[in-house]
Amino acid sequence: MKKSSILIGMLWVFFLVGEGQSVHAAPRLEIVGGPTYDFGEVQANQTLTHTFVLKNTGDSVLRIQQAKGG
């Protein structure tokens, strides 16, 4: 009886310690090439485009819900 009580107590302690150290999965956004782009000198009324490459380097799904151009 005493051995089983000790075993249950040890398992309970390991459970509590393990819960305190858990790592939660989270997305992490990396913008390949940087968050800005320099077009250099351009003419007035010239249409410019650039494609930004976004990479999720985290361990969870990354959801982009809104994006705006500056």
Q: Is the pLDDT of residue 64 over 80?
A: yes
Total domain count, the chain = 1
What residue numbers bound the domain in which 61 lies?
A: 24-70
Q: Is the pLDDT of residue 12 over 70?
A: no
- The answer to whether residue 65 sits within a structural domain is yes
Q: Is the pLDDT of residue 11 over 60?
A: yes
Number of Cβ within a 10 Å radius of residue 27: 13
- The answer to whether residue 38 sits within a structural domain is yes
- The answer to whether residue 14 sits within a structural domain is no
Mean pLDDT to the nearest integer, 10-32: 74
pTM of the full structure:
0.54
CB 57 within 8 A of CB 32: no
pLDDT at 20: 55
pLDDT at 23: 66
